[in-house]
Every structure is written in C-alpha cells, then in structure tokens.
Amino acid sequence: MKIAIFLVAIATTIYVAATPATAIPGGWSKIKNITDPHIQELGEWAVMEHNKVGNDNLKFQKVVSGKQQIVNGVNYYLFIDAMQLEGSHGTYRAVLLEEDSSNPNTRKLISFNSKNWVMHGY
C-alpha cells in the first residue's frame, strides 16, 4: 500500500516535470483594435529585432491580427504582414513579451516564424 502511494507520487512528479514549460496557460484574448498604434509599433519592433539575427531583411507592413495575454506585463502573439527583399509579401508570426508598455527596453522577442504561416480562424 505504501509502495503504491509512493509510485503514484513519483508518477505525478514525472508528469509535472514533463509538461513543457512552453505550454500556454489560459487567458489569451483577441486584440480587438488591431490598428492601435502601440500594437503596430510592437509589430514593427518585432520585425526590426528579427532582422538583427535573420538574413532575410524584412520590411514591416502591418500587424494584421493578434492575441494578447496579461501576465507580469503582456504577452503578444502577432500576425505580421511583411515584405521580402524581392517584393513579395509574407505573413509572419511573432511572439513577444512587453513588461512595461511605456518602456521599450522591457520588450523581449520570444519567437519569430520566418516562413509563410497559414492563418486559421483569426
């Protein structure tokens, strides 16, 4: 009996440890006003940050849609229209965190998908 409880405890520990840290907790909401200058600025910033490490030199066009999640700051999940060097447009997906909306130094680009991304339901 004691052993069974012990095993359950171990299994629970392993399960918790195996749950990826990248799992997104609830609380994401659609950004209602996508033309908000702050949202557009975040998209432009994400493309600039990406260009520092990527070699595709994208030109920001606009944020087309996105979601946000209030954490200790705000997590953003943005779909961005950007132009490639040869002039074709692509939709890119950026994930970023902004701890303080009045301080651009608190922004962190978490991921930037540089391949065309099919949008489902946004």
Q: Which is nearer to ligand NAG, 36 or 99 (CB)?
A: 36
Cα separation, 66 vs 79, in Å, equals 6
Interface with ligand NAG (CB under 6 A): 33, 35-37
Whichever of 33 and 88 has its CB closer to ligand NAG, that residue is 33
Shortest gap between Cβ of 61 and ligand NAG (angstroms)? Answer: 17
CB of 32 to ligand NAG, least distance (A): 7
Are the CB atoms for 89 and 117 separated by under 8 Å? no
Pick between residue 39 and residue 80 the one whose CB is nearest to ligand NAG. Answer: 39
Task: Write phi, then psi, for 62 (nearest 5 degrees).
Answer: -165, 160
117 neighbors 79 (Cβ within 8 angstroms): yes
How far apart are the C-alpha atoms of 55 and 66, rounded to whole Å? 25
Structure tokens at 45: 């910033």
Shortest Å, Cβ 47 to ligand NAG: 20
Q: How far is the CB of 119 from ligand NAG (least distance, A)?
A: 21
Cβ contact 71:95 at 8 Å: no
Q: Of 36 and 100, which CB lies nearer to ligand NAG in the complex structure?
A: 36
